[in-house]
Amino acid sequence: MNSRHEYLEEVLKWKEDVLTVLKDEGVNENESIYLRIHDFSTQLSRLVEEDASNEVLSVVQGEVAALHEEVEQYFIERQSHGSTFINETYVQPGKHVLPPLPYEYNALEPYISEEIMKLHHQKHHQSYVDGLNKAEISLAQARKNNDFSLVKHWSRELAFHGSGHYLHTIFWNNMTPKGGGAPGRLLLREIEKYFGSFDLFKKHFSEAAKAVEGVGWAILVWSPRSRHLEILQSERHMILTQWDTIPLLALDVWEHAYYLQYKNNKASYVDNWWNTVNWKDVEERFLKARQLKWKPF
């Protein structure tokens, strides 16, 4: 496959990612933005089957840029009218459940063993779900009884178990059996803009993960205030974090995530973990997160 066809295939993947975002946001398929993308998709599919010239590729690049601006503007307008997430249900206090893995327990081998995945998901993640539910129910009872004598304790439990539940939910989806490689063009461009290169980003992220003191996470986040990516460490699940940021890619470096397989060689676990990264999921999170922009300071 020549480079022109590779580019067109990449554009097709980007188009599917955008359609996924629209579907997840409940956008009606009869809206103009949907129809616009479907028309573009029909033309693009034909070009992939043909030997597209450089002139045609230039037109495609222009269309992609225009579509990107249209999609971004569409969500800005939805947000300004309060229509984003307006019909979404919410989790009532104490009703969180353990999400299923998006693959089999042995699917990430040889990088992460089936034994680790079962223990990590069924025992450790479940304990965070249970702890979060208990904290929410206890705080709801405190409000009902107007008794806040234990609010400090339950607030700590809420932060610890809630952060554990949410980060693990991101973590599972951040991985895939046939992962690795590099992100798509949009996220890659943002990474290169802030970190200098994809290799420098990987080095920074890996070293942050390896250097976490005790137990915790390395997390790639989007900052709506500064409008750029950043790499953070988090001890436990919620210490040393940076507020007003959105997690995109999370790596669990608690010992229960690797010790049965890698013993005390955390560095080897981190290095091998890159082979599992689901860049499609990370980019979908990025496309949604970057719609949120605060006034920069």
Q: What angle do CA 178, 180, 182 make, to 5 degrees?
A: 130
> Domain boundary at 26, 54, 80, which?
80
Q: H-type helices in 146-228, by residue range?
A: 151-173, 185-195, 198-210
The reply to whether 130 falls in a domain is no
The per-residue pLDDT for 202 is 98
User: Comparing 26-40, 145-159, 183-197, which segment has the lowest mean pLDDT?
Assistant: 26-40
* Residue listed under structure tokens 């003191």: 213
Q: Which one-letter amino acid corresponds to residue 118?
A: K
The per-residue pLDDT for 49 is 64
The reply to whether 123 falls in a domain is no
Per-residue pLDDT, averaged over 192-215, amounts to 95
The reply to whether 199 falls in a domain is yes
Per-residue pLDDT, averaged over 104-119, amounts to 96
Q: What is the pLDDT of residues 149-164, one digit of tens each?
A: 999 999 999 999 999 9
Per-residue pLDDT, averaged over 229-248, amounts to 85
The reply to whether 267 falls in a domain is yes
The reply to whether 153 falls in a domain is no
Q: H-type helices in the chain, by residue range?
A: 3-24, 32-49, 54-80, 114-118, 126-145, 151-173, 185-195, 198-210, 259-262, 266-273, 279-289
The per-residue pLDDT for 4 is 65
- Token digits of residue 128: 């965070």
Whether 1 has a pLDDT exceeding 70, the answer reads no
The reply to whether 159 falls in a domain is no
Domain boundaries, position 281: 185-289
The per-residue pLDDT for 52 is 60
Per-residue pLDDT, averaged over 127-137, amounts to 96
Which residue, among 179, 166, 188, 168, has the nearest Cα to 273 in the 3D structure? Answer: 179
Q: What is the CATH number of the domain that holds 239?
A: 3.55.40.20
User: Comparing 103-107, 200-204, 243-247, which segment has the lowest mean pLDDT?
Assistant: 243-247
The per-residue pLDDT for 86 is 44
> Domain boundary at 80, 111, 129, which?
80
d(CA 175, CA 252): 12
- Token digits of residue 290: 């970057």
The reply to whether 107 falls in a domain is no
Whether 47 has a pLDDT exceeding 80, the answer reads no
The per-residue pLDDT for 238 is 67
The reply to whether 61 falls in a domain is yes
User: Please, which residues bridge with residue 249 across strands?
Assistant: 220
Structurally, the chain folds into a number of domains equal to: 2
User: Comparing 119-128, 272-281, 286-295, which segment has the lowest mean pLDDT?
Assistant: 286-295
As a whole number, the mean pLDDT across the chain is 87
Bigger pLDDT: 51 or 239? 239
> Domain boundary at 48, 80, 112, which?
80
User: Comparing 22-36, 100-114, 120-134, 162-176, which segment has the lowest mean pLDDT?
Assistant: 22-36
Q: What is the pLDDT of residues 53-82, one digit of tens each?
A: 667 677 777 777 778 778 777 777 766 655
Bigger pLDDT: 1 or 16? 16
Bigger pLDDT: 62 or 167? 167
The per-residue pLDDT for 144 is 95
The per-residue pLDDT for 33 is 83
Confidence of residue 198 (pLDDT cuts 50, 70, 90): very high
